[in-house]
Amino acid sequence: MTDITVPNMGESVTEATIAKWFKKVGDAVAADEVLAELETDKVTVEVPAPQAGVLTAIAVNEGGSVAPGSVIGSIEVGAGATAAKPPEAPKPAAEAKPVPPKPEAATAAPAEAKPSGPAVDRIVAETGIDLSKVEASGKDGRHTKGDVLAALDAVASQVKAGAEAPAPHAPRPTTEREQRVKMTRLRATIAKRLKEAQNTAAMLTTYNEADMTEIMALRKQHQDGFEKRHGVRIGFMSFFVKACVAALKEIPAVNAEIDGDDIIYKNYYDIGVAVGTDKGLVVPVLRDADTKGFADIEKGIAELGAKAREGKLKIEDMQGATFTISNGGVYGSLMSSPILNAPQSGVLGMHKIQDRPIALNGQVVIRPMMYLALSYDHRMVDGKEAVTFLVRVKEALENPVRLLLEV
Amino acid sequence: MAGPYDVVVIGGGPGGYNAAIRAGQLGLKAACIEKRASGGAVAFGGTCLNVGCIPSKALLHASQRYEEAQKHFAGLGIKATVELDLPGMMGHKEKTVDQLVKGVAFLLKKNKVDPYFGTGRIVSAGKVEVTGADGKTEILETKNIVIATGSEVTPLPGVTIDEKTIVSSTGILSLAEVPKRLVVIGAGVIGLELGSVWRRLGAEVTCVEFLDRIVPGVDAEIAKDFQRILTRQGITFRLSSKVTKADTGANGVSVTIEPAKGGAAETLETDVLLVCIGRRPYIEGLGAKEAGVKVDARGRVETDGHGRTSVPGIWVIGDVTTGPMLAHKAEDEAMAVAELIAGKAGHVNYDVIPSVVYTWPEVASVGKTEEEVKAAGIAYKVGKFPFTANARAKTIAEKDGSVKVIADARTDRVLGCHIVGPEAGNLIMEVAVAMEFGASSEDIVRTCHAHPTLPEAVRQAAMAVDNRATQM
């Protein structure tokens, strides 16, 4: 019998949720066949069968939390030929002892249900606390009453501190016209990170607008040639990345982070590009953007976007950005204040390009305009720096030749 | 030269024979050396089985039944005339010991442990010399040595034990007749148990103790209650007193005692004097020090907390090392060490070792005392429940004593339990299991207890931690 273990998902990943089991107990599986899908904070990871055989036990049901290396099931090796081997055959059941089979993979019941004692059961019944999220200090990983009380205390103090943690009350009943859905790990992480950013940073937003006439003309003029030469269309993003990198070089505080009592300035430009997927927003990172040309930037963004939408982004793809560009314009947003991606000190919000009458040289003219927003951490970025940064971005966008001449 | 062995255990007491048996179970080639002889043959079982726990319990049981029949049957509506047959009682004791000693030899054989009859001496790591009663020596080669030599009676300066009128815990088990007067030096477990035996059989017992309390180490509140009960039973206590001299004369022993802090001496006349001020580690002639094994100031073999001595390949368990001198502690260490030698995970939880005084009523403890919890600065709660309020205790006419449960004020985890009362030694075990699993007092409360039983008193005491005892 072989254990099915959770693969290593990157250094910082300590926890994942079983999103889906593709096989059920008793199913025959081939080596490397995908058995289950795990959701981590950011990516989806597949768990392949370590060997061919029959899935004899599922130890953690869908919705259960797992850590890298933990056993989530087992395979009876070499039993592959008899695919229809019933799971309740006495032998595999007996051998599957370390991983008790739980065929009724119905609801998101707490996965590692080791009996913890009646006092813990009482508290769970009264408060609805999720034991899978409570550290267990008792014998063989059991929860003691003290563990659960400490967890409830922690939740209570978070609530007191104004954090977003839910109060430890029993889930309120839903009515017929309501639907209760467990937050995906991705959604829960988004919720947590956004709120952390708001709670930590002295966040402020400065606005400006850019006349996109020049960029649009440039794109129109060179689109065919660019595409023929580089195999990728020239979009707006490359201009924004270039403009931001130039402005970041001028205003280093926007490319920095606070670490304790120090500020760390970063002399590299890894730009996070927010990409919407059907499961939520992810921010893959375009590395060393300052060394890339327009074509490489466009190609890089296209690849990251495709990976994100297919759910194939790796954790490494999303770690370590020094600055973020968010584009609400693709959904039609005219103006918004983006939230920082901690610990970064700045995030640029792009918006919809809209024809608007503006005053130019004393004349009212209609121009394709975009509102720009820079949210920044006022703890390390001064107002003057933030405004200057955004003005530099605006100037570069309105006069893209500046990007070429680096002026 | 014999061997090579995987394990040679020196000492066949509850530590030693269990280490050898467990080693045998785990497939190790094991030997066990024992020097104690009984009727010319080797007698395994150590102090516990031969001259300790077992014979004393046989006498405690028999003497308790005698006293019950004499004094308590009438209250239950039974008229009886009883008569003491001391040789018969000693016969019960000897038969018990004899059968258990043979049982140990059988268990060693069953688990393929080679027994050696003689005195073991460590030549060096990996080499043990056995000297038989005839003086012949033999060298055993072994990968591991387990020191399990136990302890011996601590002598008292100025008092010479002859095991006739001035006796140790050994001689007191075999008195030929019931002394009229018995003075016991030391109000610890042994003194109170054996004092109780002879008091029941008719002796006038006086217990002299250096400290200002009895059973040191037991929760103070419980100890006080216990002293009150024993006094009512007829034992006289002379606390805060020290014995400076004991002279044997024609009419028994003259014992000179002084207040512990100094003052006027006085003399107690007695027929038999029992010296039981404690026990000390026994490593004389073992060769442990010579082999480089470190020993602390009190003569105890030092360990790393997992049975390893300072010399690789030499292990130690039981009374001869640190920790409480209890057979079951030695037994747990024995199993852990055998498992560690076999490359498995062995462990002793020193925080949850029960201890019992087998008087009647019994006294039992596990975990921390209230004094210890207080000294550690832990916020705690106490729940107490008296046996007078327990239905079963009522039916068996036992009304003395109470159960005391100590729990962490914040986490409700059970930190200790102390009982003085009927069958306390059996009652303590549910709390020991609970503590081993990190249970809260509420966990005990929420465990169904049969009615009417004595364990209900434990549950009610756990309830009292949260001021919710329902039967008081």
Whether residue A113 is predicted with pLDDT greater than 70 in this model: the reply is no
Nearest to A39 by CA among A192, A185, A191: A185
Residue of A nearest to B443 (CA): A119
Poorest-pLDDT segment among A90-99, A213-222, B146-155: A90-99
Does B437 contact A at CB distance below 8 Å? yes
Q: Are residues B87 and B207 in the same domain?
A: no
DSSP state of A324: E
A145 and B442 in contact by Cβ < 8 A?
Answer: yes
Task: Report the candidate in B309, B292, B301 with the shortest Cα–Cα distance to residue B144.
Answer: B309
A402 closest CA partner among A294, A243, A209: A243
Best A145, A147, A149 member to test B by mutation, with max B CBs in 10 Å, is: A145
- Each residue of B202-217: pLDDT tens digit? 999 999 999 999 999 9
Q: Do B440 and A144 touch (CB under 8 A)?
A: yes
Residue B361: cis peptide before it, omega within 30 degrees of 0: yes
With respect to residue B314, please indicate whether it lies within any of the assigned structural domains.
Answer: yes
- Per-residue pLDDT for B25 more than 90? yes
A378 tagged catalytic: yes
**In angstroms, rounded to a whole number, what is the distance separating the alpha carbons of residues B407 and A145?**
12
Assess whether pLDDT exceeds 70 at residue A109.
no
What was the pLDDT predicted at A57? 82
The three-class DSSP label of residue A145 is helix
Nearest chain B residue to A139, by CA: B437
User: Whose structure tokens read 């962490």?
Assistant: B408
Chain A residue with Cα closest to B448: A118
What confidence tens digit (pLDDT) does each residue in A54-107 have?
888 888 888 888 887 888 888 887 654 443 334 443 333 333 334 433 433 334
pLDDT at B364: 98
According to the CATH classification, is domain A2-95 in 2.40.50.100?
Answer: yes
Kindly report, residue by residue over A255-307, the tens digit of the pLDDT: 999 988 889 999 999 999 887 777 667 788 999 999 999 999 999 988 988 88
Q: What is the dihedral of CA B230, B233, B234, B239, to 10 degrees?
A: 10
pLDDT digits (tens, 9 = 90+) for B86-127: 999 999 999 999 999 999 999 999 999 999 999 999 999 999
Put simply, whether B266 touches A (Cβ < 8 Å) is no
Nearest to B438 among A118, A144, A149 (CB): A144
Asked if B108 and B231 sit in the same domain, the reply is no
Optimal mutation site among B378, B408, B411, B430, interface A, most CBs of chain A within 10 A: B411
Domain residue extents for chain A: 2-95, 118-172, 189-405
Residue of A32, A153, A224, A382 with catalytic role? A382
Interface test with A, best of B408, B442, B445, B448 (most A CBs within 10 A): B442
> Within an 8 Å CB–CB cutoff, is residue B436 touching chain A?
yes
Q: Looking at the domain assignment, is residue B50 inside a domain?
A: yes
Residues B314 and B413 in one domain: no
Residues in chain B: 472
The C-alpha atoms of residue A369 and residue A365 are separated, in whole angstroms, by 11
Task: Identify the pLDDT of residue A96.
Answer: 36
Q: Give pLDDT, residue A311.
A: 78
φ and ψ at B427, to 5 degrees? -65, -30
Yes or no, beta carbons of A118 and B437 under 8 Å apart? no
Q: Does residue B190 sit within a domain?
A: yes
How close A110 gets to chain B, by Cα (Å)? 21
Would you state the pLDDT for residue A91? 39
A155 phi/psi in degrees, rounded to 5: -65, -45
ipTM passes above 0.95: no
Give φ, ψ of B225 to 5 degrees.
-60, -45
Q: Tell whether B470 is covered by a domain.
A: no
- Say what percent of chain B tops pLDDT 70: 100
pLDDT band of residue A7 (cuts 50, 70, 90) is confident
Return mean pLDDT, chain B: 96
Instruction: Give residue A18's pLDDT band: very low, low, confident or very high (50, 70, 90).
Output: confident
For residues B152-156, average pLDDT: 95
pLDDT band at residue A11 using 50, 70 and 90 as cut-offs: low
Percentage of chain B beyond pLDDT 90 is 96
Q: Which residue has the higher pLDDT, A275 or B130?
A: B130
Identify the three-state secondary structure at position A271.
strand
pLDDT in the model for residue A169? 59
Structure tokens at A387: 């405004």
Q: Quick one: pLDDT at residue A341?
A: 87
CA trace torsion B255, B259, B263, B268 (10° rounding): -20
Nearest residue, CB atoms, A118 vs list B411, B413, B443: B443
Please indicate, yes or no, whether residues B144 and B290 belong to a single structural domain of this protein.
Answer: yes
Q: How confident is the model at residue A8 (pLDDT cuts 50, 70, 90)?
A: confident
* Tokens, residue A3: 């254990």
Residues B142 and B18 in one domain: yes
Residue contact A146–B411, C-beta within 8 A: yes
**Residue B451 appears among annotated catalytic residues:** yes
Kindly report the CATH number assigned to the domain that includes residue B235. 3.50.50.60
Partners of B413 on chain A (C-beta within 8 Å) are 144-146
The whole-number pLDDT of residue B336 equals 96
Lowest-confidence pick of A306-315, B219-228, B255-264, B334-343 = A306-315
- Contact between B442 and A137 using a beta-carbon 8 Å cutoff: no
Residues B406, B381 share a domain: yes
Question: C-alpha distances in angstroms, A220 versus A28, A216, A235, A296, B85?
Answer: 56, 6, 10, 19, 120
Pair (B257, B284) in one structural domain: no
Q: Domain holding B374: CATH number?
A: 3.30.390.30
Are B295 and B329 part of one and the same domain? yes
Please give the CATH topology (third level) of the domain spanning A189-405: Chloramphenicol Acetyltransferase (3.30.559)
Kindly state whether residues B29 and B143 are assigned to the same domain: yes
Report the mean per-residue pLDDT for chain A: 82
Say if residue A234's pLDDT is above 80.
yes
Mean pLDDT of B450-457: 98
pLDDT at residue A4, rounded to an integer: 86
Number of domains into which chain B is organized? 3
Task: Give the pLDDT of residue A161.
Answer: 67
Q: What is the pLDDT of residues A362-404, one digit of tens each?
A: 999 999 999 999 999 999 999 999 999 999 999 999 999 888 8
Length of chain A: 407
Which conformational region is residue A39 in: left (phi greater than 0), alpha (psi within -120 to 50 degrees), or beta?
Answer: beta
Q: Which domain holds residue B257?
A: 166-277
Same domain for B293 and B148?
yes
Q: Which residues pair with B308 in a beta bridge?
A: B315
Between the alpha carbon of residue A53 and those of residues A75, A94, A104, A369, the distances in Å are: 6, 17, 21, 61
Q: Do B438 and A139 touch (CB under 8 A)?
A: yes
In a domain, B131, yes or no: yes
Same domain, residue pair B405 and B374: yes
Judgement on whether residues B270 and B292 belong to the same structural domain of the protein: no
